[in-house]
Amino acid sequence: MDMKQHLWILAGAAFLAACGAGSEKQEQSVDFGDIPPQQLRDGFLQLRATASSGLPVSYASWDTAVAAIDGSKVLFRQAGVVDIIAAQPGNERFYEAPSVTRRLIIRDWDPDKKTQEISFDLPAEWKLSRDGTIVALKAEASSGLPVGFALSTTKYGFLLSRSPNRYLYLYHAGEGGQLVGAERLSYDAQISVVASQAGNDEYNPADNVEKMMHVIGDVMH
């Protein structure tokens, strides 16, 4: 083998190695739950999006006159509606994640309207093998107006309506690719649910009520 052939072989090997390294990049996704309606007087909200890669998530606001971003906080500037975008640009190991957009409603306080408050109970712990996958969400506003709910994450479940009630549906162990590793048949998670009531011509918005639930999934259904 002459030197020229040897150099071509080395060049080809380097090219294949580079292609192989590139193919090892992994996909990732951003988990960004719904944002419940907020009150202007509260000033800001801590955002909680996460990337499946574990890399930090960045945020952007479509209208900084309504809400601006400061790190992982969204700062309220005035009452209004604005879309908040969560993104993760990737690195040498992960591709860029598809961005996720959530709508933020900021409401102002009217001194001429009545006040209201929310009563909301959520089990502190939920065991999938014992309690099932559907959690009834029970909350009441003192005004009698309907209460809305927002889930902090889409990783472990989603909200659904079965008129006239609302429910939280939890993925059971092994469903929907929620588990990491083929041998893992359970998960252990803290899930946040926020109850809100946006008010109307008679009532001001109620203060949001957030409840945490510890979910344990340890069986295959």
Q: Which residue has the higher pLDDT, 103 or 7?
A: 103
Per-residue pLDDT band for 186 (boundaries 50, 70, 90) equals low
Query: Do 27-109 and 112-221 have matching folds?
Result: yes
User: What is the residue extent of each domain of the chain?
Assistant: 27-109, 112-221
Strand blocks (E) in the chain:
30-31, 38-39, 44-46, 50-51, 58-61, 67-70, 73-76, 80-87, 100-107, 118-121, 125-127, 134-141, 148-151, 157-162, 165-170, 187-196, 209-217
Q: What is the pLDDT of residues 46-80, one digit of tens each?
A: 999 999 999 999 999 999 999 999 999 999 999 99
- C-alpha 14/C-alpha 221 separation (Å) is 48
pLDDT score of 176 more than 60: no
Q: What is the pLDDT of residues 119-157, one digit of tens each?
A: 999 999 999 888 988 999 999 999 999 999 999 888 888
Q: How much is the mean pLDDT over the chain?
A: 85
Answer for the pair 218, 131: CB distance below 8 angstroms, yes or no.
no
Instruction: Find where tokens 């803290």 sit.
Output: 190
Query: 112-221: what fold?
Result: Immunoglobulin-like (2.60.40)
Reading the block at residue 33, the tokens are 């739950």
Distance CA 147, CA 140 (A): 6
User: Would you give the distance in Å from CA 115 to the centre of its chain?
Assistant: 29
For 47, residues 6+ apart whose C-beta sits below 8 A from its C-beta are 32, 59, 72, 73, 74, 84, 86
By CB neighbour count within 10 A (0-12 exposed, 13-18 middle, 19+ buried), where does 112 fall?
Answer: exposed
Q: Band the pLDDT of 6: cuts 50, 70, 90.
A: very low
pLDDT (average), residues 168-175: 75
27-109 CATH, one of 2.60.40.1080, 3.30.930.10, 3.20.20.10, 3.50.50.60: 2.60.40.1080
pLDDT, one tens digit per residue, over 10-34 is 445 444 444 444 468 999 999 999 9
Q: How are strands ordered across the β-sheet holding 165-170?
A: 118-121, 134-141, 165-170, 157-162
